[in-house]
Structure 1
Amino acid sequence: MNMLKWIAFGAVMAMSMNVLAEGGGDRTFERALSANSKAMQEYAANQGKAPPLVKEYEYGMKLDVVKVVSVVKPAPACNVVPTAMTYEDSSGQLNTIKYNVMGVCRNNGG
C-alpha cells in the first residue's frame, strides 16, 4: 500500500510540473514581448515614429515588410510557440506582428 502512495504522489508531481512548464512558457513569452515592446517604443521615439501596435497574424495576411527591426526569440521547446516581429513597412510605419513558429528543439541525443 505504501508503494502505491509513492507512485500516486510521483504521478501527481509529474503532472503538476508539466502544467507549470506549460504556463511558464507563456509567461516567458509575455515577458519577452513586454521587453520588446518597451525597446520598440524607445526605438520609435529615437526614429521620430509612432510606436507599433501588436497585431495577431492571420493566415493570408499581406505583410509589407521593408526592414525587420526586431524579432522575439522563440522558446526552446519541441512544439509550436509564439513569437513576434517588429518591422517597418514601405510607408515607414512600425508594425509588430505576433505569430506561431516551431520552437527551437534540442534533443540530448545529438
Structure 2
Amino acid sequence: MNTRKLLVAIIFLSSTQLAFASSSIDNLTQKNQQKNIEITQKYAASNNKSVPEIVDYKYGMPIDVKKLIHATKEIKTCGNYKKIMSFEDSQGDLHAVRYTVLGSCRQSEG
C-alpha cells in the first residue's frame, strides 16, 4: 500500500513539474513574440513600410531573405517551441514567419 501511495505522489509531482515547464516555455515564447513584433513595428515605421502579419511556416514555403530584421531568442528546453523571424525580401517587402524548432537541453547534448 505504501508503495502505491509513493508511486502516486511521484506521478503527481512529475506532472506538476511538466505543467510548470510547459507554461514557462509558453510565457517565454509569448514574450519573445511580443519583442519581435515591437522591433518589426519600429523598423517598419522608420522605413515607411507596412507591418507584416505573422505567418506560420509550411514545409516547402519559399523564403526570400535579403535582410534579417529580428529573430527571436533560443529557449533552453527539452521540447519544441516557436520562433519568429522578421525579414525584408529582395523586393523590399517585410515578412514575419513563425516556425517550430527543437529545443536543446542537457539530455540531448550529451
How does the TM-score come out when normalised to structure 1? 0.84
The DSSP-based 3-state class of the residue aligned with 2:87 is strand
Instruction: Give 1:88 deviation, angstroms.
Output: 0.2
**Whole-Å Cα distance in 2 between the matches of residues 2 and 106 of structure 1?**
33
Amino acid at match of 2:32: A
Instruction: Give 1:48 deviation, angstroms.
Output: 1.4
How does the TM-score come out when normalised to structure 2? 0.84
Percent of aligned pairs with the same residue?
Answer: 30
- The reply to whether residue 13 of structure 1 matches residue 3 of structure 2 is no
* 1:74 paired residue number: 74
- The reply to whether residue 29 of structure 1 matches residue 29 of structure 2 is yes
Larger deviation, residues 8-17 vs 62-71:
8-17
The DSSP-based 3-state class of the residue aligned with 1:90 is coil
Contact 2:40 2:51 in 1 (8 A): yes
Q: How many equivalent pairs are there?
A: 110
**Whole-Å Cα distance in 1 between the matches of residues 69 and 106 of structure 2?**
27
Could you tell me which runs of 5 or more consecutive residues in structure 2 were left unpaired when the two chains were aligned: none
* 1:45 paired residue number: 45
Q: What is the alpha-carbon root mean square deviation over aligned residues?
A: 2.2
